[in-house]
Amino acid sequence: MSPRPLRLTRLHVFAALFVLLGLALLWWAPGAFEADTISRLNFGLGRDAPGWGAPTRLTLQVIGGLYLASGLLALVNRWPRVSLAALVLSGLLIFPAVLIGAAAGKQTNVLTMLAESLRLATPIVIGATAGIWAERTGIINIAIEGMMLAGACFGFTSLFFLEPIMPGATNLVLLISVLVAVVFGGLMALLHAWLSIRFNVNQVVSGTVINILAIGLTSFVRREWLLSTRAGRITLPNIAIPGLVDIPVIGDVLFNNKPIFYMMFVLLILTHVILFYTPFGLRMRAVGEHPEAADTVGVNVFFMRYLNTTISGMIAGLGGAWFSLETVGGFDDVMTGGRGFIALAAMIFGKWTPFGAFGGGLLFGFADALGTRFQILNVPVPPQWLQMLPFLTTMVVLAGLVGRATAPAAEGIPYEKQ
Amino acid sequence: MAEITAETHQSQPRQPSPGRMPRNWSEIGSRLVPGLAVVTAMIFGAVFMVAAATDWAAARAAFSADGVGGFISEVRPGIGRAGIAYGALFEGAAGLGYVNPSSIRAETFYVTLLPLGERSLVFIPRNLIDTIVRTIPFILAGLAVALGFKCGLFNIGAEGQLYAGGLLAALIGFHPAFRGLPSLIHIPLAVAAGIAGGLLWGAIPGFLKARTGAHEVINTIMMNYIAIRLADWLIKSREPVIMLDTTASVPRTPFVAQSAMYPYLANTSLHFGLFVALAAVWLVWWFLYRTTLGFEIRTVGANPSAARYAGMSVSRSVVLAMALSGGLAGLAGAGEVLGVQHNLSPGFFAGVGFDSIAIALLAKTNPFAVVPAALLWGGLINGAGLMQVRADLSIDVVKIIQAFIVMFIAADQIVRALWRIRARRRGEEVVFARGWS
Amino acid sequence: MAEPAATPAAEPVLEVIGITKRFPGVLANNDIHFTLTRGQIHCMLGENGAGKTTLMNIIYGLYQPDAGEIRMNGRPVMIHSANDAIRLGIGMVHQHFMLVPQLTVTENIILGNEVTQGPFLDRRKAAAQILALSERFGLEIDPEARVGELPVGARQRVEIVKALYRQASILILDEPTAVLTPQEAEDLFKVMHALVEQGVSIVFITHKLKEVLAVADQITVLRNGEVAGVVAPEEASEASLAALMVGRAVILQVEKAAAHPGEPVLSVEELRVTDERGHTAVNGISFEARAGEILGVAGVQGNGQTELVRAITGLMHPLSGRILIAGQDVSTATPRQITELGVAHIPEDREADGLVKPYPVVDNIILNSYYRPPFARGIVMNEAEAVKQATEVVERFDVRTPSIYAEVGTLSGGNKQKIIAGREFSRPIKLLVAAQPTRGLDVGSIEFIHKQIVAQRDQGVAVLLVSAELDEIMALSDRIAVMYRGQIIDVLPAAQADRETLGLLMAGVHPAQD
């Protein structure tokens, strides 16, 4: 047996990175923190909230050691399964490590941090769910961003014009506005479907068209009609779910939120059930993997693709409403800020499954929330660096995972019937 | 893997073109498709202009009072505004206008071509020159995206690469360490730095694509956001001051040294960057169609598994194409800093990324066709200012027109159907980009 | 399910009357007539491109005919979609299986016709129905298995059950034996007879003469999109069918002189290769190919031949073992290094690997020598030399193309393969690796390519010929290696190899050991 060439695999790159990171932590922690510095992590508000005081330096050193160990283990390349698990485990420890480092000598509420992550994950998870609907039937949807933007803009436009007409009926107006956002997201998606199904336009190009169009259209609409002193600043109301909200510790965090936040969970469950347990979902998956096979048993490939892409856009429109109607109460140019693209990364991370995408979305939500948390804790890091975090996370995650995630086989390939 | 297409080998100049005249509308029309796409997009844009310029409440009232006639009379001023808007757009872009000469500002030089009573047909060279100045970065950035497409890569990251190039060029331009260098050294140094910045910014997603398969569309977008934040920090940071000009009232870098500025041509705002851009066009064409590396890049773009079979290194081509693409965009960024702005402020390159995609698509990835496509873009953007003044319409309407142009170029069947031109032949196709894996 | 055959007499269940179908530039079907009677196995015989598959796709509603009529049980029917065909009781097993590899057997079978409970799929009930069907017809399948992990034979059974699940009374089998060993084909024929006994009528499409004579009740021969003849098997012989199919007498044997094997050019030692999904595809193979001989590699598709070829040509790296070409270890060499050693490769999938379809002929001819003098100096390419080379190859290999600037994608399969052969044979080579070199070609091109391969051998090139066509292997090879599940089960001199022996070997049965 001849010696195999030493080929640099992704695993090795990551392992080397982890070794370096571990060494850096081990070297940096003793210099940066006194031995008796404590990072206090609270679970809840107030003085009596349960919490855990972690000795900053020791914890960071332990985590650094874990990094070093798992990296070395992977480099040795003996027990692939064990070392992969170790890598993933220590990879996840980056978050507590950063948090503990940031909270040195102070205290921080882990629970609100998690709640904030979930909240910031909402548009990403909804966007990823939207992506799943289109991509499972074989239509690449890089236009989630544009569809969200359209939803955000037109949802707010509806609020802006209806509010003076229907005074007093704020909740009804908000409901209508969310529906308008959903419809406009769907319309953009319909255009995407039309271009890519009817005209076989490359789906990445078609998606880019939608994104450009959405930017132009929404800033035009804002400039022409929405500039006014009459700023709405109304947002969707909090809804406390009776009973559940009284659960200690997590009740208030999870069950006293805004409607689109809840919708995220509804959509996740619904998408999962439809995709894997209904005839419609079976057909969706078949169309995305092998459209000819679906066609020969009488499944209408074009119809499925139009329908699902439109549904995808409607979901993205709802995600757009999260920005303008649930969070800000207004519309700014390009307010989605790349969350639609991050959603795609979350979808790929989750291997095109709803709950996987939820995990991915949570990861990015956490990276986002970390930024805010740093500012609260007064960590002397430029805010721009923190704003880079979600984007950097996306790149690292994609580099680490995309090769192992397989997209639906027929994705991006126009279906041609003779 | 998704592949899409438009004319590829049509654009390859070595193919002898048939030397006969086109015979019928379909044949002439086929060659006019890009132009017709632009016209169609403008018609669609007009709809938005009319919508914005009409007082819909009044129109509704007039409709209920006087029926359709009343409605039309209310909409008509809107149509008039759209007409004014396009007239102004054209005048702002090409310098040709039908105006009252006394309305032109005194310091503006103009030539009266044809006096027609109170108003005259005038030519304002300044407008055209400004359009060309606007065109220069679009040529380079459009080339960048086109080069990526040739390798089957969709580089959405031109914007970030422009920042990377612009930042480094500015740094070399203003940094005290380089002051006093002769122009012959300072300019090439700053340009090289700009190219290097873009090169690096493009090579990272290229490397990630080749090594890990991570899709370049997402990574270049992420690199855009990172570049924007990075530029924001570098330029705005006060503790420590990194690239901020502390004497300026707005956040921007200091001005680059005189010795690093592109020379102006004949006392106009036209600068040396024009020649750089045109040289780049020829160079890119030569590289793609006359060198082995270009052949490899095109083969990888057209059929990666055949490229692998033929002994080419797909990863090397992918990294090279992304790096060169980034380098071209970096050159564009450097040109704006050294030739136009002479400093860099955050947000300066916003939107150029999408513009360059549109230009590359409009040119169907042909390097030479990038020039007219970029000129159109430069004109649209340069003319938009005058349009906004004259017709009181948001310049964002130009973005809508641009989106429609890209849409009609990508789905030229729509244009062909609208203008009754025969469907395109199969085979007249080029690879633009691929799916996730 | 179909009624038991009540009337054994010739009761027509499906009549095709005057079907014509035109594709751009091709008349695929021209005024075709044919009649299928109840309980009949009707063979549709014809060369590649004779229009068999087009006709079946019309009957199955995937294409619409330009003219003509289809009648079922005497009544004219309109079949606009697969749905219509299914409703009328027509089932089709496509040449390329219409199964979703990522789904399970059950999911594939019920797709489009789902068993539900409320709004949800009822997988358990569906699986029970499928098991019942499979037992009734003796088609062994596991409803829970994922289709992507099944061997081809099992996938074919899934396809048949899929048709039966939809209550098909007419079953169209499009080239079903192409992926089977002779013994597996025998099993399929048994299943077909069982189906016929239960009243199903079968259209059996093939281009293999022996099979036709073995199973057919009636034979329709297609040639160039037209019916060339309708014959009963009792009245036909292989030779007469071949003449009908091709339109002239065919030389079934390739003329070649005895081989004069020289030094080993290729030696493979204990080679192991994994496929793209990481499963072992080549499992410890050792053999040698010598200068001046053709070593044929026989075997049913998917037994590791693809990976073997890809490893030898550098497109895949072996897991372990060695590959030596002309004495050099190339186990980890790049495709370019291997090409430079004098290896020519006719790839299995010529459209995907061998050609760049949007490129003109000339660029395809220099596809793997573009970087070398005289075609390039440094990185600058010399166009005139490329044109000269292309003109020469086009002439010498009789490539029918409007010009050397024509896009390769617009040429026919035979001309595409001639371009590849021309490219590979126009430089000095020591080893030729030819994978499925004549798949899907017309008879004329097949003869041409065969002659070229033999000519290379006679010039002292070592040839490794990988083919799923047993006839091709037997006609060309000097020695024959049989691959089964990633291993070479035996190597025989061509003179000792007959169909039966090879067939058993291809099925993994070693006569000497039993």
What is the reported pLDDT for A45? Answer: 64
* CA distance to partner chain A, nearest, from residue B218 (Å): 7
State the SS3 of A27-38. HHHHHHCCCCCE
pLDDT in tens, C354-369: 999 899 999 999 999 9
**Running DSSP on this structure, what letter comes out for residue A414?**
P
- A222 touches C: beta carbon within 8 Å: no
- C119 touches A: beta carbon within 8 Å: yes
**Domain CATH number, residue B295:** 1.10.3470
Of B385-399, C152-166, C179-193, minimum mean pLDDT range: C179-193
Report CA Rg, chain C.
25
* CA distance to partner chain B, nearest, from residue C297 (Å): 21
Q: Which of B212, B217, B411 sits opposite A201 (nearest CB)?
A: B411
Q: Which two tokens stand for residue C74?
A: 């005497």
Residue B139 covered by a domain: yes
What is the reported pLDDT for B8? Answer: 37
Contact flag C62-A417 (C-beta cutoff 8 Å): yes
Number of domains in chain B: 1
Beta bridge partners of C345: C433
pLDDT classification of C463: cutoffs 50, 70, 90: very high
Residue B213 covered by a domain: yes
What is the reported pLDDT for C248? Answer: 60
d(CA C334, CA C138): 48
pLDDT in tens, C391-410: 999 999 988 888 899 889 88
Cis amide leading into C374 (omega within 30): yes
What is the reported pLDDT for B148? Answer: 95
pLDDT at C36 over 50: yes
d(CA B115, CA A225): 39
Average pLDDT over residues C64-76: 91
Beta bridge partners of C288: C267
Residue B119 covered by a domain: no
How many of the other CB atoms lie within 10 Å of CB of B101? 13
Average pLDDT over residues C58-87: 89
Contact flag B295-C381 (C-beta cutoff 8 Å): yes
More confident of the two residues B339 and A396? B339
Of A223-237, B35-49, C23-37, C140-154, minimum mean pLDDT range: A223-237
Beta bridge partners of C29: C21
What is the reported pLDDT for C180? Answer: 78
Q: Give the HSE-up count for residue B22: Cα atoms under 13 Å, Cβ half-sphere.
A: 9
Q: Which two tokens stand for residue A378?
A: 């007064």
d(CA C40, CA C68): 23
pLDDT in tens, A146-197: 999 999 999 999 998 888 888 888 889 999 999 999 999 999 999 999 999 9
Contact flag C112-A277 (C-beta cutoff 8 Å): no
Domains of chain C: 1-89+167-250 (3.40.50.300), 100-165 (no CATH), 254-342+430-514 (3.40.50.300), 356-427 (no CATH)
What is the reported pLDDT for C252? Answer: 56
Domains of chain A: 10-105 (no CATH), 112-404 (1.10.3470)
Contact flag C62-A289 (C-beta cutoff 8 Å): no
d(CA A262, CA A254): 9
d(CA A150, CA A144): 10
What is the reported pLDDT for C26? Answer: 73
Residue B203 covered by a domain: yes
pLDDT at C246 over 80: no
Residue B134 covered by a domain: yes
Closest residue in C to A410 (Cα–Cα): C100
pLDDT at A246 over 70: yes
Q: Which two tokens stand for residue C245?
A: 């199919």
What is the reported pLDDT for B14? Answer: 40
- For chain B, 437 residues long, give each residue's pLDDT as a single digit of tens: 333 333 333 333 344 333 445 456 666 767 788 888 999 999 999 998 888 888 788 888 888 888 888 888 888 888 888 898 999 999 989 988 888 888 777 778 888 888 887 888 889 999 999 999 999 999 999 999 999 999 999 999 999 999 999 999 999 999 999 988 999 999 999 999 999 999 999 999 999 998 888 888 889 989 999 999 999 999 998 888 889 998 988 999 999 999 999 999 888 889 999 999 999 999 999 999 999 999 999 999 999 999 999 999 999 999 999 999 999 999 999 999 999 999 999 988 888 888 999 899 889 899 999 999 999 999 999 999 999 988 888 888 898 999 999 899 888 888 888 888 776 554 444 445 555 54
What is the reported pLDDT for B341? Answer: 92
What is the reported pLDDT for A199? Answer: 87
Residue B99 covered by a domain: no
What is the reported pLDDT for A105? Answer: 77
Site of tokens 């042909």: B366
Beta strands in A15-96 (DSSP E): 38-42, 51-55
What is the reported pLDDT for A5? Answer: 38
Residue B408 covered by a domain: no
How far is residue A112 CA from its own chain's centroid?
A: 18
How many of the other CB atoms lie within 10 Å of CB of A272? 17
What lies within 8 Å, CB to CB, of A407 at 6+ separation is A135, A348, A352, B435, B436, B437
What is the reported pLDDT for B192? Answer: 97
> Which of 389-428 (B) contact A at CB < 8 A?
393-394, 396-404, 406-407, 410-411, 413-414
What is the reported pLDDT for A398? Answer: 79
For strands C462-466 and C294-298, give the pairing.
parallel
pLDDT in tens, B321-353: 999 999 999 999 999 999 999 999 998 888 888
Q: Which two tokens stand for residue A410?
A: 């027929």
- B13 touches C: beta carbon within 8 Å: no
Of B54-63, B334-343, C89-98, C311-320, minimum mean pLDDT range: B54-63
Contact flag B306-C368 (C-beta cutoff 8 Å): no
d(CA B43, CA B397): 12
Question: What range does the domain containing B275 cover?
Answer: 129-376
Residue B348 covered by a domain: yes
CB B361 within 8 A of CB B409: yes
* CA distance to partner chain A, nearest, from residue C294 (Å): 27
